[in-house]
Amino acid sequence: MRVLLVEDDERIARNVKAALGESGYVVDHERDGEQAWFKGDTEDYAAVVLDLGLPSLDGLSILKKWRANERSMPILILTSRDTWLERVEGINAGADDYLPKPFVMEELLARLRAIVRRSAGVSTPIITIGSLSLDTRQMRVTREGAPVNLTPQEYRLLSYLMHHSGRIVPHGELLEQLFSHDCDKESNAIEVLIGRVRKKIGLDCIETRRGFGYIIGQNG
C-alpha cells in the first residue's frame, strides 16, 4: 500500500519512512505543505501521515482542502502541539486519528493499520477470506493454517487485494499502490507478481477480470 508521509523534521521523517517501509508500505515523503497538498490532491494513497507544523501551508489547512475536494483517504495527524482543542479541530476537519509527538513507532504503525482497515471496512487485524488468513500486525499469511512464504512485494499485493476483497482492483491501481514512482518496473510487473502469488496461495484464489483488473474474495 502506498502512503504519503508529510513531515518536515528530517530525523522523524527518516525514522518513520524506514519503519513504514519495513511494515510493507510504499512511502512518498513531502516536507513542504504546498507540495504535500498537491500530491495528496492528485494522486491516490491508501493513507496519509500528516504533520501539522509545516512550511508554506500548515497541516490543518491541507486537511481541510483535501476534504473540501472530497479526498477520502484515511489521515493520521502528527503534531507536537498536544491540546484537546487542536485534537477536536483536527478530527472535525476530517482526520481519522491523532498522535502527539513524541510517539512510539509501534503505536504509529498500529494506528495507521487501524485507519487503513477501517477505510476498507475491515474491523479486525486478521483478515480471513476462505482458507486464507492475513495477520496485518505480524505481516504473516497462512493458507489452511500453514504459513505461506511471501516476498515483501508479494505480501503487499496480497494485502492490498485482501483489504479490498470483493472489489475488482484495476491494474493501474495496483501499480500505483505497489511501486514508487522512481522504481523501474516492467510493463507486465503486476501480471508476473500475480502469477507468483497464485502459485503460493492457490491458482483459484485471485480471479482475473479481463479488461477490468483482479479480485479476491469471490472464489478464494
Q: What is the CATH number of the domain that holds 75?
A: 3.40.50.2300
Could you tell me if 136 and 97 lie in one domain? no
C-alpha cell at 209: 477480470
At residue 79, the pLDDT reads 84
Domain count, the chain: 2
At residue 81, the pLDDT reads 66
**Which CATH number goes with the domain that contains 137?**
1.10.10.10
Tell me whether the omega of the peptide bond preceding residue 74 falls within 30 degrees of 0, making it cis: no
Structural domain ending residue among the three candidates 119, 151, 171 = 119
Could you tell me if 169 and 197 lie in one domain? yes
Could you tell me if 100 and 134 lie in one domain? no
CA angle, residues 46, 50, 53, in degrees to nearest 5? 170
Q: Give the whole-angstrom CA distance, residue 51 versus residue 18.
A: 17
Structural domain ending residue among the three candidates 73, 94, 119 = 119
Compute the mean pLDDT over every residue in the chain, rounded to the nearest whole number. 91
At residue 196, the pLDDT reads 96
- What percentage of the chain reaches a pLDDT higher than 70? 95
Is 23's pLDDT higher than 90? yes
Could you tell me if 138 and 37 lie in one domain? no
At residue 133, the pLDDT reads 96
C-alpha cell at 77: 495527524
Could you tell me if 40 and 74 lie in one domain? yes
DSSP-based three-state secondary structure for 97: strand
Residue with cell 505480501: 155
Q: Give the whole-angstrom CA distance, residue 127 versus residue 107.
A: 20
Is 69's pLDDT higher than 90? yes
Could you tell me if 142 and 77 lie in one domain? no
Could you tell me if 103 and 21 lie in one domain? yes
C-alpha cell at 38: 498537491
Structural domain ending residue among the three candidates 119, 134, 161 = 119
pTM above 0.75, yes or no: yes
Q: Which range among 11-15, 58-62, 201-205 shows the weakest confidence by mean pLDDT?
A: 201-205
As a whole number, mean pLDDT of residues 101-125 equals 93
Q: Which domain holds residue 18?
A: 2-119
Of 74 and 79, which is predicted with more confidence? 74
